[in-house]
Homo-oligomer: A and B are copies of this chain.
Amino acid sequence: MKEQKKQDATCEEELNAIRDSLEVLGGKWKLRIMRHLNNHINETNTFKKIQRDVDGISAKMLSKELQDLEINLLVSRTVLNTKPVTVRYDITTYGQSVFPVTESLVNWGLNHRRKIKQRG
């Protein structure tokens, strides 16, 4: 019974950790934005440029998602001294640490699709 409780406790902690991860990786846009920033890392990714490049995203969602990503230290925001003012967004080194995690999701997802297509 004690072992049971301990197991459930770590289980709960692990589920919390997964919830934390999915807060970043989940949702429709966060990973798309991060991948785009990572694929265009040497460019000046302004708000408008990202909005043009990330297909279908609205200004509202882009604004909200970039704020979330910045709060989580995954993306940095730099106001540039231009006229009109432009803002540059960059993926952080820490932000790049999500990609090994997404890779395991990609691999499992690809394999799962094959598995299901074979109907088992």
Q: Name A residues whose Cβ lies closer than 8 Å to a Cβ of B.
A: 7, 11, 13-22, 24-26, 31-32, 35, 39, 72-73, 94, 97-98, 100-102, 104-110, 112-113, 115-116, 120
Chain B residues, CB < 8 A from A107: 17
Residues from chain B with Cβ under 8 Å of A115 in the complex: 73, 94
Docked-complex contact B18 and A31, CB < 8 angstroms: yes
Q: Which residues of B contact A11 (CB under 8 A)?
A: 35, 39
Residues on the B chain within 8 Å of A97, using CB: 108
Distance in angstroms between the alpha carbons of A25 and B120 in the assembled complex: 19
Query: What are 15 A-B contacts defined by CB distance under 8 Å?
Result: A11-B35, A13-B110, A14-B106, A17-B105, A17-B113, A18-B25, A20-B109, A22-B22, A22-B25, A22-B26, A26-B26, A73-B116, A97-B108, A98-B108, A101-B104
